[in-house]
A and B are shown apart, each in its own frame.
Chain A
Amino acid sequence: MPRDDSGLESLEQWMYSVISHPQGAEAGVEANSKPGSEAAYDLEQTVLPSEKLTPLERISVYADMYFWRFIDIMSEEYPTVEHLLGVERFAQVVRDYITRHPSTYYNLNRLSVKFPQYLRNEADEIPHQPFVVAVATVERLMEDVFDAPHKEKISTEAIQNVPGEQWPEICLEFNPALYLLELDYPVNAYMTAVNEDRHMDAPKAQKSFVVVYRCNYRVWRDDLEYESYLLLAQLKEGKSLGEALENCALQEGVDMDKITTNLGEWFQQWTAQEFFCGLKTGS
């Protein structure tokens, strides 16, 4: 039975429930026409037919667009996850994700914030799950880096002007659009292969270290050596260079010679890559 004409809220609720039903509009109409459901309406008495379409076909236009829009957006955000799962499976995973975690924010950039977590904890059997989760984590992080706050990078001169003896005391302020990741799979190598249309089987577990950052307005993703990752991670935590080097030396399997030999070159490279936006002495 149609409600009275002033029931705009329940009409909206009804339409939303119908078009967002995971089994499609027909199931949505069925589920929301029973007395007892929150907003029960009879489709035929609520939506008029057009000359060529029935009420169900008309409301289905909105229902079809409901999931299509989310799949379209998330396929842009997670191209490698889609590649791994295949187009159809990916679409189904997104439908399930949206059904369990519908968008509640006006801005679409938060739509898939919980997607990596969902893939880890809630998704029904997906192939290569731990690897897919690792890929999703990196792809989501690339979105976050894209939107992260901007801070002016530090100049090469500022780095060059630090007297040699002061370096152990120096703490670096990091670009807010930079994340360091320790991963159980070679995610970057795989993503790059997919991006370049090269075939690569889903890899076996193997530690990798990745930095995702924004430089010159673009988002980048680079593999790091274990040593440079460790050093950057210490510095990012706010340790002075001296403390960071000491802490690195305490870690198992670290090649300190590699660090001391490459330190100057790494800093030049990291400065050019806009890793830093400030420095100060001592903590």
Chain B
Amino acid sequence: MSVENRWGFPDLGLGIGLRTVHFNHILEQWPQIDWFEIMSENFMETDGNPVRVLDQIAERYPIVMHGVSMSIGSTDPIDFDYLSKLKTLAKRVNAHWLGDHVCWTGVHGRNGHDLYPLPYNEESLKFLVDRIRTVQDFMERPLILENPSTYLTFANSTMAEEEFLARMAEESDCGLLLDVNNVYVTCRNHGLDAQAYLEAMPYDRVVQIHLAGHTDRGTHCIDTHDGRVIDPVWDLYAEVHRRAGNRATLLEWDANIPSFDEVHAEVMKAAKFRDMTELRHAS
């Protein structure tokens, strides 16, 4: 049973994050993969090799844009110049949707280029909802925002992350990118129940799923995207699939990146959880 998302964004199938180390393989083989997700910033303000490779890839495969610099939770003014550039890129690659993370990346003009956590309370929720609405109005499309991996809890949080995200999505009318690895990492780091987390997700707003590997330091987990998806994360994926049905699914692998075929084989493990067994070839 598939719960449709409310915007009718398509289930693109199984994709992988487009990374420069795979450019040659992709251009030579045009491999059978359903879609690619790009890290938006890697293709902004450059006219080098990546954008022209991307143009060729976007002609043959569906593209989704996923950024890391929107800083939607920052109290700094919204960077409309950045948003304009995002908009231009979205047009260029005909992006199916675009998203970022529920986080802030800097404040007072400084940028740490990391995904920093917000306190989960009524005040930050209201602030965030207003920001998301403003950005969505400007972008003329819903934002698809991802649950980040977090490593600390603020004492002034008054609600659980899953409740905060569900209310944020509802009140701002945005979509969600549910990263099941981040659910695992966050729940491990905060001693939370991942099943309860998944239970609380509004699946009519979940447009996309992320899978990834992480590093387990014993005392806490770090979202490193440097390896295979571990079994407990596959279990969470199966659970999401049971609740939501087929949903565009993407594997992130950003460090110690193996061959394209190896990354592809890893995401293909998701096929057994999905209704379809044969994947469409995008070309």
Contacts and interface: CB of A to CB of B under 8 A. Distances in A.
Interface of A: 2, 5-6, 8-9, 11-13, 15-16, 19-20, 45-48, 50-53, 55, 57-59, 61-62, 65-66, 69-70, 102-109, 146-150, 177, 214, 217-218
B249 interface: no
A24 B151 CA distance: 17
B278 interface: no
B153 interface: yes
Contacts of A11: 119, 154, 156
B191 A19 contact: no
Interface residues of B, number: 46
8 tightest Cβ-Cβ pairs between the two chains A and B: A9-B75, A58-B152, A106-B69, A217-B49, A147-B46, A61-B151, A52-B219, A12-B107
Given A102-B110, A103-B113, A108-B41, A62 B49 contact: no
Contacts of B154: 11, 46-48
A62 B152 contact: yes
B124 interface: yes
Contacts of A66: 112, 114
15 contacts: A8-B118, A15-B116, A16-B107, A16-B116, A47-B153, A50-B220, A52-B220, A53-B220, A55-B152, A58-B151, A58-B220, A61-B220, A61-B222, A104-B109, A147-B47
Interface string B17-34: 000000000000000000
B147 interface: no
A169 B118 CA distance: 64
B151 A62 contact: yes
Nearest to A145: B48
A103 B110 contact: yes
A185 to B, nearest CB: 27
A100 to B, nearest CB: 12
B113 A108 contact: yes
A66 B113 CA distance: 8
A65 B148 CA distance: 15
B254 to A, nearest CB: 12
Given A66-B114, A214-B48, A13 B69 contact: no
A150 B52 CA distance: 10
A148 B82 contact: no
Contacts of B45: 107, 109, 147
Contacts of B127: 8
